[in-house]
Amino acid sequence: MEKIKIEATTVSPEVIFDIDNNNFSIRGKSVVKEVDRFYAPLIEWLENADFKPNQRIDFVFNLEYFNIFSSKRILFILYKLSDLKVSGADINVMWHFSMEDDDMKEVGEDFACMVNLPFEFISNTMQPEFI
């Protein structure tokens, strides 16, 4: 299956869906106005992907911010991953959050309660800028 690679913009996240290399990530900021146009192809890709039974899938969410419209689509992706788990895939969600942003961790915890998936919470620390 052809991989998806979408470069980040000021309003949309970087997306990589690469089944051959077990590289699945959504990173950056998601404040897209036309969320269905952006997220529907991603959800469709997951629905049609040819995952092998017991295949390990490490799915990284490293979002600094997303709006309410994007949050619903992210939840749809998580539900799709939950469906894949029921079908036999070994799904692991890695939810990154900034130590300075408790809200992003709480959102991840809320999502974890809504879907039947193992979540690993990873704290990102702000790197000091060197002059």
Q: What is the pLDDT of residues 106-123, one digit of tens each?
A: 999 999 999 989 999 999
- State residue 51's pLDDT score: 86
Q: For the chain, which domains are there?
A: 4-124 (3.30.750)
- State residue 128's pLDDT score: 45
Stated length of the chain: 131
Residue 61 exposed, middle or buried by CB count within 10 Å (0-12, 13-18, 19+): buried
- State residue 126's pLDDT score: 54
Q: What is the mean pLDDT of the chain?
A: 92
The residue among 60, 16, 48, 36 whose CA lies nearest residue 6 is 16
pLDDT over 70 for what percent of the chain? 95
- State residue 102's pLDDT score: 84
Q: What is the pLDDT of residues 79-109, one digit of tens each?
A: 999 999 998 999 999 999 988 888 999 999 9
- State residue 107's pLDDT score: 96
- How, if at all, do strands 14-18 and 4-6 pair? antiparallel
Q: Look at the block and give the residue holding tokens 């913009």.
A: 9
Residue 31 has pLDDT above 60, yes or no: yes
Give residue 131's pLDDT band: very low, low, confident or very high (50, 70, 90): very low
pTM metric for this prediction: 0.91
User: Per DSSP, which regions of 3-124 are E strands?
Assistant: 4-6, 14-18, 23-30, 56-66, 90-98, 119-124
Residue 130 has pLDDT above 80, yes or no: no
Give residue 50's pLDDT band: very low, low, confident or very high (50, 70, 90): confident
